[in-house]
Structure 1
Amino acid sequence: MTDQGAPQGRQFTDEELQDLVASTDSGAREPSSRPVALLITGLALVWSLFQLWIAQPQLWFAEYLPVLNSSQTRPLHLTFAILLAFLAYPAFKKSPRDRVPYADWALAAIGGGAAFYVFAFSEQLALTARSGLPTEAQVIIGAIGIVALLEASRRALGPALTIVGSLFLLYAYLGQGWLIPELIEHEGLSFTGLINAQWLDTAGVFGIPLGVSTAFVFLFVLFGSLLDKAGAGNYFIKLAFAGLGHLRGGPAKAAVVGSAMTGLISGSSIANVVTTGTFTIPLMKRVGFTSEQAGSVEVASSVNGQIMPPVMGAAAFLMVEFIGISYVEVIKHAFIPAVISYIALVYIVHLEALKKDMPALGQAKSFGGMILKFFIGFAIAGAAFTALIYGVGALKSAAPGMTGPIMMAALLAIYVFLVSVAAKRPDLEQDDPNAEEIKLPTVGEVYATGLHYVLPIVVLVWFLMVERQSPAKSAFYATSLMLFIIITQRPLKAMFRGQGGKLAEEFAGGFRDLVDGLIAGARNMIGIGVATAAAGIIVATVTKTPIGTELAGLVEQLSGGILILMLVLVGVFSLILGMGLPTTANYIVVSSLMASVVVSLGAQEGLIVPLIAAHLFVFYFGIMADVTPPVGLASFAAAAVSGGDPIKTGFTAFFYSLRTVALPFLFIFNPTLILYGVDLGTTAGILQAAFVFVTATIAMLLFAAATQGYFLAKSRIHESAALLLVAFTLFVPNVWLDLVQPRFAAIPPAQLEQALEAADEGDRLRLKIQGPDFNTGGTAETTLVLDVSGATIEERMQASGLMLVPEGDVVKLDEPMFGTKTAETLADFDFYADEPVQIAEILSPQKRMPAEVFYIPAALLLGGVVMLQRRRQTKPAF
């Protein structure tokens, strides 16, 4: 079925699609000269081997070779990225792709040399530049390095990050000018100071973002590349189609689930669109989706792959460093929003199928039955994983010294068994979605052919979640298993199939797959490597200039101090930046500038916003930029596959992604949605998490139904409004409760000690603090949260960190105790100005009815909508 009267774009060939992915992810240059081609692939291969070498946790080589520290590994990482950026990415669209021009050789040598200089002379830099005494030669090399990095960024990522980085450099250098608002003016850094801070020091280009890319991100990208090269990508897509393809609108549902699974192995939304979309989009069009709708479903599901734990792309590892929490905590907070977002997208697709009365491919099956089977499978997998945890715990108690070898032997035995099972079935082939007759596989035919691909993912989750190892070590172990699998799976299958004569040939094929996977992983890292390095320019500028501290005031002025308006401004800012920046760079820029602003402005309104919620807010809007026109690269890639109009595809995909836009606002106002404050180590915490998950899922499904204008039947405007109201109530019932019963009772400042004494241990008092701002001199206000701890009033006062100076009814504050949380929160107040810093108000929590009481009227309203729509319902809802 084709679109009637819709403008049709050109449908690209497979070669053109692969070129599209290469030009954005791995470099489009393919030199005709064999030595040059071998040099590029050789550099990529050596980069992957270097990253595996520095990642392995057992330093057995320490007595033979020096162990590199982060100030040495980061420059080497960037050296590879810059060299490959100039060799693999043409300067312009019309630049030659079959050869490397002399200018590019020169730029690669200069840029790579400037980065390598930081490695080779790291000890000398520590004694000179990093001690504040850079030499003239060092400054020249640093300036050349920055220019080369910005050009490499332009080639690999487009002009946006180069422009943003250049503007931040100009701002840091000039400090003042007619384009710089007075609020963020400063004296300007000297040229030497600027280059020292940005290139020669360890806090600029070679700071935390590049460190995360070096230590964590490369291994995860390599892990995904090896999984894909082994055949896991095709396996996941086939499995999704086997389970969902038979449903009404099944290809679209399979596209959503397949993209969620391939999101584990692809950090690129564009590669995800092209990889899964070449098969799913034609099939979606066959059952009745328009070209734009088919492309939009693929875009919405592929982009969401970046928020799906346990692998969430580079931004998740940056959160670990920026916020100072473990990776397991990031996964915990991201889990519910990601899962309910995907469930809602499956439901949106189902509603589209109902609205258009789409047929199923083959014999139709029950959507409700599929959901039931999914939950049964999820429960069985959860029970098996729990049993494994207890089993390993018992083994550690019985034979602690033998646990490691026994587990490795068991893993090897399971792997060999699963490969033997897979060998009994033919290898999965790529299907032709344009074939006249489509025969969908069954789950029974598919699932056993690739169960061994799940083992590295289980190992990754095990070390992350159970052993609580670092992301780098966990990824190393999972990647090591993947290296073993990719070499051995082909010869093992040949052996089990009785094809002993092919063992040498299959070993050679496995080795080629390994080399190809290592090369592809490194080439996929070029953009991320230069992006994290260039984004370090912004991070250093934020720390060296007033922009980081004063931007809160600027945003507050623009938003009038209204938190919801400020959040909208931050979201729009992320979208605009993200139109040209990759997700990782966008997250670094906006979180550096805005995350603390969200927290501080929330505190001024009495709303305590967890820092992780602010970072996730920025992250969610950053990924939306891949969808949003006019740039939306994933939408253009999907349109290239579908032959639809890219702008229309982008707007439709944005409409399908409204749930992803709404979620960040919801968990800012109700952090329980990201399991903030929920202890999963207790039964009560697990039950609370399950309740939150079920409630949020229902709310998100109702939100999807409201935005799609279809529930049990086509919705009228008042019915859609009612569904939105019910969804809002289920998501944030505390908003209604705050209107009925205030959360806090106001207490005069002079009664602080009495309030502390009367509070129960574990309670939280909120103090509104007013006083002169250290940076602007104007009056500032914030909310300080005091956790009541200690048995006596003296202990509680000491734990608070406050130094009180009571004067009648006024309670002035002296500078808080150094090193306390209070001192950190009040760091921007000037305690030595003429105007005192004082407590304006004390808010003590009141006992209130549960917020869940508002679920009752919400359920009644939902029942009313169901009754109205049942009268018009003409087909089953599921």
Structure 2
Amino acid sequence: MDQRREEPAVNVERAEKYDKELRYRRFDSLLATLAVYVIAVALSLYHLYAAAFPVFSAHQHRALHLAGILALAFLLYPATSGASRTRLPLYDLALAALGVAVNLYIVLGYAGIVARGTSNYNTTDLVFAAVTIVLVLEAARRLMGWGLPALCILFLLYGYLGRIIPSEIFRHRGYALDDMAAYMYMGLEGIYGTPLGVSANFIILFIIFGAIMMKTGLGAFFNDLALALAGRAKGGPAKVAVISSGFMGSINGSALANVVSTGAFTIPLMKRIGYRPNFAGAVEASASVGGQVLPPIMGAAAFIMAETLGISYATVVLAGVLPALLYYLAVITQVHLRADRMGLVGLPAAEVPRIKEIMKERGHLLFPLLFFIYMLFFAGVSLAYAAFWTIIVSLVVAQLRASTRLGVRELLDALESGARLTISVALACAAVGLIVGIAALTGFGLKLANAIVAVGGEVLFFSLIFTMLAAIMLGVGLPSIPAYIITVTVAAPALVELGVEPLTAHFFVFYFGIFANLTPPVALAAFAASGLSGGSPMRTGFIALKLAIAGFIVPYMFVYSDALLLSNAEGLEALPVAATAIVGVLMLAVAVEGYLFSTVAWPLRALLAAAAILMLNPNFLTDAAGITVAFAVLLWQWRKGRREQEESAPAKEPAR
């Protein structure tokens, strides 16, 4: 019997409300549908080929990548929310063709562009440059709203009007529009800079890998495995949500996609055993967002981090392991404490699959992930090459059983899905390249770093607070990738100047840019989860914020003790730091949830929170104080819980 189980169904209409990527056209015309399908599949095939056999220069390769992305963006996404989503207007067809043309100009005329450089441009160069900038901004607006394009325009104005800015700190000599346009188009510092390069070289490959693995039933495998591991435990479905969303998020790197896919499976289970709708949605949202910081693949920003810092992706992955595990430990601890408080039980044994049967049927799907880890840490090959062979291995492994085997049509569908899911990421990278380019041209990052240091009085903690607020504010209005890139560009230099290691500074920004997805008033991941749970969007957001509290504390921990980022640790240095960090996040979870064997009084909650914060800067005294407080509260709560149980137990009848 074919035991292939379909991926959890997604309520498309509800998901579209929060995720603009899903608002693409479904054409009435078979010809239009086929044309877009062929373009998407061709784009994926090109990138697979280029990963193994690179044939173009970096600039040409990025231009071909952007050509396909712009074509798909204008073909698939209408200009306005009220425009038809079944028919393609001629102006969008023209814009798609123009998006291809301006990039083919770079590919075909590359020798001339290199010879002229960004200073000896001609009129044709300027026309194509201006058109490219407009197309990138318009395509980004269609998928992400006005936030990112507006910020890009502000930076372009800053570059042009620099000499009339009142503040001496931020004033500069100003640049002509022609010079800025050429700089953004004809070199590798603007649109075609590092962010787009990462999208073209790595991100699309891992999105394709994720799309292929989802077609094999990996999502259902993760759900079943999590169900087998935690389904029967106290509050089991909520723990299943945390585990399965962590698994899924580490592969697809998209919080919203994770919410609407795994949430369709886990949220009804949580509600069924007694979790309230707001809490059920919050659990799914906080677990899904955390997937972007969980190795081995993490979110797209992690690839950009490695490329920007000039370090291997394996170093970034190793650094991300312990902070991510601390985050998930805090979430699952709060989930357990809530279940204990409410007296919730797990699922019946009959509804929980057996691990042996799951591994027998689909356990082989884990092999590509293990293969990727081997290629990443031990094979000594490039990340693109590792991604290429991981995709090949995943296709071969999927053929081992009928329940996971892919036919030609399913493989083509995965390639089409991979290209389509890359559109928003690539456009964000291209658009943010304008901001990075202006920052490099004007020295804005260094100017802002000096301003932050001046305002913070060279006190690291104040600079961390300013950087956190900047990342959260950008993350509320922008996708996590541009939020990370912009904050790193303009704020991370200040942290480095104050003695923070570059990798640590980048991780600090990385975390807050991602967890802004849970920060009201625009907590998109929580709002999407509330749509599935039937709860209040804002209330779900605030509960998700509480569940994710460790995501806002752990970054401070690894700044003050960067041994938590294992790639910065020497020998066994990370062990005592990890031990105290575990105690700290457990204390934090109890303080937030307010329950441990029994209700925790507010004074004790405040004491636990204060002790947890003291352990941010590890040293013997603060660690000893924190552990002492934790042990004392544990003992007090255990005795209090025992006493309450004895008082509530029915009195025994006296013996006759």
TM more than 0.5: yes
The answer to whether the Cα contact below 8 Å between 1:129 and 1:135 also exists between their aligned partners in 2 is: no
AA matched with 1:248: K
- Structure 2 Cα separation of the partners of residues 264 and 862 of structure 1: 32
Q: Which amino acid aligns with 2:538?
A: I
Deviation at 1:141, TM superposition (A): 1.0
Partner of residue 162, structure 1: 149
Deviates more, 1:866-875 or 1:666-675: 866-875
Q: Of residues 506, 509, 515 in structure 2, which corresponds to 1:615?
A: 506
- 1:120 pairs with 88, 108, 112, which one? 108
Using the TM superposition, give the Cα deviation of residue 466 of structure 1 relative to its aligned residue in structure 2, in angstroms: 1.5
The corresponding residue for 1:201 is: 187
How far is the alpha carbon of 1:529 from its aligned partner? 0.9
Determine the C-alpha separation between the residues in 1 that align with 2:622 and 2:471: 34
Give the drift of 1:557: 4.1
Query: Alpha-carbon deviations, 1:519-557, whole Å to 9, x = none?
Result: 111100001111111111111111100312111232234
Could you tell me whether the CA contact under 8 Å between 1:26 and 1:88 is conserved in 2? no
Indicate conservation of the 8 Å contact 2:314/2:376, yes or no: yes
Q: Is the 8 A contact 2:241 2:287 kept in 1?
A: yes
Preserved contact between residue 323 and residue 564 of structure 2 (Cα < 8 Å): yes
For the 8 Å contact 2:12–2:22, the answer to whether it is kept is: no
Q: Give the share of equivalent positions with the same residue, in percent.
A: 35
Aligned twin of 1:360: 346
- 2:299 is the alignment partner of 1:313: yes
Q: Secondary structure at the match of 1:220?
A: helix
> Quick one: distance in 1 between partners of 2:300 and 2:532?
27
Aligned partner of 2:612 among 719, 727, 741 = 727
- Structure 2 matches for 1:359-398, cutoff 5 A? 359-362=345-348
2:378 is the alignment partner of 1:466: yes
In 2, Cα distance between equivalents of 1:598 and 1:209: 21
AA matched with 1:100: L
Aligned residue for 1:32, secondary structure, equals coil
Instruction: Pick from 304, 324, 327 the counterpart of residue 338 of structure 1.
Output: 324
Find the aligned partners of 2:159 and 2:274 in 1 and give their Cα distance.
55
Deviation at 1:135, TM superposition (A): 0.1
Mapping for residues 828-867 of structure 1, pairs under 5 Å = 851=620, 854-867=622-635
Distance in 1, Cα, partners of 2:387 & 2:575: 28
C-alpha distance after superposition, 1:387-429 (max 9, x if no partner): xxxxxxxxxxxxxxxxxxxxxxxxxxxxxxxxxxxxxxxxxxx
Q: Which runs of 5+ in 2 are unaligned?
A: 1-8, 646-656
User: Contact (CA 8 Å) 2:69, 2:423: kept in 1 or not?
Assistant: yes
Kept in 2, the 8 Å contact 1:87–1:100? The answer is yes
Q: Is the 8 A contact 1:206 1:536 kept in 2?
A: yes
By relative contact order (CA 8 Å, sep 6+), the higher-ranking structure is 2
- Name the aligned partner's letter for residue 861 of structure 1: V
Return closer, same or farther for 1:541/1:137 CA change in 2, 3 Å cut-off.
same
**Other-structure match for 1:247:** 233
1:722 touches 1:862 (CA, 8 Å); kept in 2?
A: no
1:15 CA drift (Å) = 3.8
Q: Does residue 231 of structure 1 match 2:211?
A: no
Alignment counterpart, residue 208 of structure 2, candidates 222, 225, 231: 222
Q: 1:629 to 1:863 in 2, by over 3 A?
A: closer
- Could you give the per-residue CA deviations for residues 337-388 of structure 1, whole angstroms, max 9, x where no partner exists? 011111221111001111211122225xxxxxxxxxxxxxxxxxxxxxxxxx
Deviations 1:151-191 (A, max 9, x none): 0011122211111111111111121446x633111121112
Deviation at 1:20, TM superposition (A): 4.9
- Counterparts in 2 of 1:204-603, with a 5 A limit? 204-362=190-348, 439-486=351-398, 488-489=399-400, 492-493=401-402, 510-600=407-497, 602=498
- Aligned CA RMSD, in angstroms, stands at 2.1
- Partners of 1:28 and 1:174 lie apart in 2 by 37
Distance 1:140 1:527, change over 3 A: same
Query: Per-residue deviation at 1:111?
Result: 2.5
Change (3 A) 1:91 1:71: same
Measure how far apart 1:731 and its partner are. Answer: 4.3
- Report if the CA contact (8 A) 1:156-1:527 is conserved: yes
Q: SS state of the match for residue 263, structure 1?
A: helix
Counterpart of 1:665 (choices 539, 547, 556) is: 556
Residue in 1 that maps onto 2:39 = 43
Q: Which runs of 5+ in 1 are unaligned?
A: 1-11, 60-66, 364-437, 495-505, 603-607, 680-684, 735-850
Alpha-carbon distance change, 46 to 676 in structure 1, aligned in 2, over 3 angstroms: closer
Instruction: Give the partner amino acid of 2:368.
Output: P
2:590 counterpart residue number? 705
Deviation at 1:484, TM superposition (A): 2.7
Alignment equivalent of 2:130, drawn from 140, 143, 159: 143
Q: Is the 8 A contact 1:125 1:200 kept in 2?
A: yes
Matched, 1:868 2:604: no
Task: Write out aligned runs for 1:723-802 (5 A).
Answer: 723-734=608-619
- Alpha-carbon separation, structure 1, partners of 2:600 and 2:128: 65
Alignment partner for residue 25 of structure 1, among 21, 25, 28?
Answer: 21
Equivalents in 1 of 2:153, 2:13: separation in Å?
33
Residue 210 of structure 1 contacts residue 529 of structure 1 at CA under 8 Å; is this kept in 2?
Answer: yes
User: 1:652 & 1:15 partners in 2: Cα distance?
Assistant: 25
**Alpha-carbon contact 2:250-2:293 (below 8 Å) kept:** no
Query: How far apart in 2 are the matches of 1:623 and 1:124?
Result: 41
Distance in 1 (CA, whole Å) between partners of 2:133 and 2:423 is: 17
Tell me by how many angstroms 1:692 deviates. Answer: 3.2
Please tell me whether the aligned partners of residues 217 and 313 of structure 1 are also in contact (alpha carbons under 8 angstroms). no
Q: What is the distance in 1 between the residues matched to 2:20 and 2:578?
A: 36
Q: What SS does structure 1 have at the residue aligned with 2:595? A: coil
The aligned counterpart of 1:626 is 517
CA distance in 2, matches of 1:148, 1:868: 64
Aligned-residue offset at 1:39? 0.9
- CA distance 1:17–1:98, change in 2 (3 Å): same
Residue 265 of structure 1, CA deviation: 2.4
TM, length-normalised to structure 2: 0.93
Q: How does 1:54-93 map to 2 (within 5 A)?
A: 54-57=50-53, 67-93=55-81
Judge conservation of contact 1:722–1:865 (CA < 8 Å) in 2.
no
The equivalent of 1:820 in structure 2 is none
Asked if structure 2 preserves the Cα contact closer than 8 Å seen for 1:571 and 1:618, the reply is: yes
- Taking the aligned partners of 1:698 and 1:863, their CA distance within structure 2 comes to 10
Q: 1:36, CA displacement in angstroms?
A: 0.5
Superposition pairs of residues 649-660 of structure 1, within 5 angstroms:
649-660=540-551
1:569/1:858 CA distance change after superposition, 3 Å = closer
CA distance in 2, matches of 1:566, 1:439: 51
More moved, 104-113 vs 27-36: 104-113
User: Per-residue deviation at 1:109?
Assistant: 1.7
Once the two structures are TM-superposed, the CA of residue 729 in structure 1 deviates from its matched residue by 4.5
Q: Which has the higher strand share?
A: 1
DSSP-derived class of the 1:450 partner: helix
Does the CA-based 8 Å contact 1:459-1:478 persist in structure 2?
A: yes
Residue 676 of structure 1, CA deviation: 5.4
Instruction: Please tell me the residue identity of whatever aligns with 1:719.
Output: L
Q: Secondary structure at the match of 1:265?
A: helix
Larger Cα-atom Rg: 1
Alignment of 1:4-15 (within 5 A): 14-15=11-12
Determine which structure has the larger helix proportion and give its number.
2
Matched-pair contact (CA < 8 Å) for 2:563–2:573? no
**Residue of 164, 167, 172 corresponding to 1:186:** 172
**Inter-partner Cα distance in structure 1 for 2:164 and 2:27:** 46
**1:314 CA drift (Å):** 1.6
- Distance in structure 1 (CA, Å) of the matches to 2:568 and 2:298: 22
Amino acid at match of 2:288: S
TM-aligned CA distance change 1:465 to 1:348, over 3 Å: same
- Structure 1 residue 27 displacement after superposition: 4.8
Q: Secondary structure at the match of 2:274?
A: coil
